[in-house]
Structure 1
Amino acid sequence: MSKELVFGHQSPDTDAIVAAKAYSYLQNKLGYDTEAVALGEPNEETQFVLNYFDEPTPRVITKASDEVDSVMLVDHNEHQQSVSDIEDVTVTHVVDHHRIANFSTSSPLFYRAEPVGCTSTILMKMFDEYKIEIPAQLAGLMLSAIISDTLLLKSPTTTDDDKAAVIALAEIADVDYKTYGLEELKAGTNLSSKSEAELIEQDAKSFEMGGKNIRIDQINTVDLDEVFARQDKLEAAMAADAKEKGYDLFLVLVTNILDSDSRLLVWGEPTDVVEKAFNTTLTNNTASLPGVVSRKKQVVPPLQDQFK
């Protein structure tokens, strides 16, 4: 059996990196030869998680076809979010919790998708189904991924499955998930050392809607004003990135993890679609979005509806 690489999406968040590690571990136990890799360097939150559980950082790849013939995808399926040469390799497995779009294969594959808050929640079910024990270290990583994706179970994407997984994984890892979870989330809000270019790319995903190329980034913080004090430079970075990569519309969702509110920063066109999607009026390219914390559930769907 040939080796396969397992990876999450570009600009990886905690779940993208952890899910790759967890799925690779599971598949190796099932007899596959896999390696978990990443499509970018871990952000500060993810690095905190890796350090906390004494887990090595995965190596970063930009291409897969020069190493392997086939790959397994976690936490994504859309090709524009995947490795640059995804069309040149065979996708044999996908485990994801996002919409399915711009995805097709020439051969049958294993595909598991569930509407839960985190890919690691699905993977916990799979460990249970295959009756494979989750080591304490890996349980801590998977716990961290769910905390990250659900904002400590506060996101509207959170399901009963996510809550049950957090309790079970915390017990295996011997971690107080509430205390640890807040520490983890705060680790990802140290933004002062990051450039504007880094901020707009650290958790960004691309989407095709209505023939437009849409880029949506999310920045977690404990102080919205601290981020928007850099608005002019953020907009300049968004404009430069959009020009280089062909984005028509660039949105940055800045989320306060303490009060679960967000403020949106918008560059590009059409802005009227953004205003209609969120029933708001942009002022100085910004809009307050009370209660909005989830890109997957509260930002992408209303935009898609308006682009139809």
Structure 2
Amino acid sequence: MTTLIFGHQNPDTDAITSAITWAEFQRQSGNTDVEAVALGTPNDETKFALDTFKTQAPRVIDAANGADVMLVDHNEAQQSVADRKDSTIVSVVDHHRFANFETAAPLFIRAEPVGSCNSIIYKMYKENGFEITPQIAALMLSGAISDTLLLKSPTTTDLEREILPELAKIAGVDLQEYGLNMLKAGTNLAAKSDLDITEGDAKSFDMGGKTVRIGQVNVVDLEEIYARQADIEASLKAESERNGYDLFLLVATDILNSNSTGLAFGEGKDKLEAAFGGKFDADDRLALPGVVSRKKQVVPPLQKAFEA
């Protein structure tokens, strides 16, 4: 049976491109019976990257059906395929925290606290002397640009500062021009439904026994979010009640000015205020100055607040 390779649910650019680049790594390693798949359709940013470099989007699955699996860009069970417990996890390549993770069999794990999953995969290509084609380089580049906000996110490490120019050269693109165009492609809110905005990049976390759902949407003008705030909040409420989330936080991030605003529904809004040292204002918005990274700037302080 073919081994399936995939990133997290509601996949972003790094999740989808990591599955593709890790599948190619496996083929160059001699493991040809692998397939890059996805746990959701590509968002507009990812579509821009795939279309630019003439790459077919991976097949979308909702179950692994007992196949062996390789995980990229995630490890937590609630962010993975629904029937993961019925599969053998062969490998994990990730740059996030590890939680709710255990296996019955030994496996390969490569985890590093860097800016993107593709950064790790790039290192492994180099370590093994594998070929990095312009297309593979472009996909790695796109994933790393997305996760580091073109090197502006605090998740950026010296590794990304080193490899992004290298990858751009192999891919044959201008780093700044391509990167900004790709990020802007994902900020077209007019083309997104309220559900797309709230759930499009959302992940669930277990925090102090509570299920906390955290979504993030990138914009070039936060006024676009404010204009739709009532409908977005209605979507947060509906999804929370339908799925049993204790708290649903949407982080709207201005990619040009590196600031965010939080909108939330559920119990624990006091935890949000404690985590970020602010208060929801009269418009029920929580200012998050300088916050752009869910992984580094949102999850850790919120986890601490819920477990205090």
What is the TM-score of this pair, normalised by structure 2? 0.98
Separation in 2 of the partners of 1:271 and 1:220?
22
The equivalent residue for 2:63 is 63
Counterparts of residues 1-308 of structure 1 (less than 5 Å): 2-32=1-31, 33-65=33-65, 68-283=66-281, 284-308=283-307
C-alpha offsets along residues 252-294 of structure 1, whole Å, 9 cap, x if unaligned? 0000000101011111111111100000011233111111000
- Counting matched residue pairs gives 305
How far off is 1:168 after superposition?
A: 1.1
Letter paired with 2:6: F
Contact 2:4 2:67 in 1 (8 A): no
Secondary structure of 1:55's partner?
Answer: coil
Separation in 1 of the partners of 2:189 and 2:148?
20
Separation in 1 of the partners of 2:191 and 2:93?
34
Separation in 1 of the partners of 2:190 and 2:258?
21
Separation in 1 of the partners of 2:121 and 2:59?
22
Contact 1:267 1:285 in 2 (8 A): no
Unaligned 5+ runs, structure 1 = none
Separation in 2 of the partners of 1:296 and 1:93?
22
Letter paired with 1:81: Q
Separation in 2 of the partners of 1:56 and 1:140?
14
Q: Report sequence identity in percent.
A: 56
How far off is 1:69 after superposition?
A: 2.7
How far off is 1:198 after superposition?
A: 1.1
C-alpha offsets along residues 103-122 of structure 1, whole Å, 9 cap, x if unaligned? 00011100111000000000
Separation in 2 of the partners of 1:159 and 1:42?
26
Separation in 1 of the partners of 2:188 and 2:229?
17
Separation in 1 of the partners of 2:68 and 2:284?
43
Letter paired with 1:47: K
Contact 1:5 1:36 in 2 (8 A): yes
Letter paired with 2:193: S
How far off is 1:307 after superposition?
A: 1.4
Separation in 1 of the partners of 2:18 and 2:109?
15
Separation in 2 of the partners of 1:245 and 1:88?
23
Unaligned 5+ runs, structure 2 = none
Letter paired with 1:133: E
Letter paired with 1:241: E
Secondary structure of 1:198's partner?
Answer: helix
Indicate the RMSD between aligned Cα atoms, in angstroms: 0.8
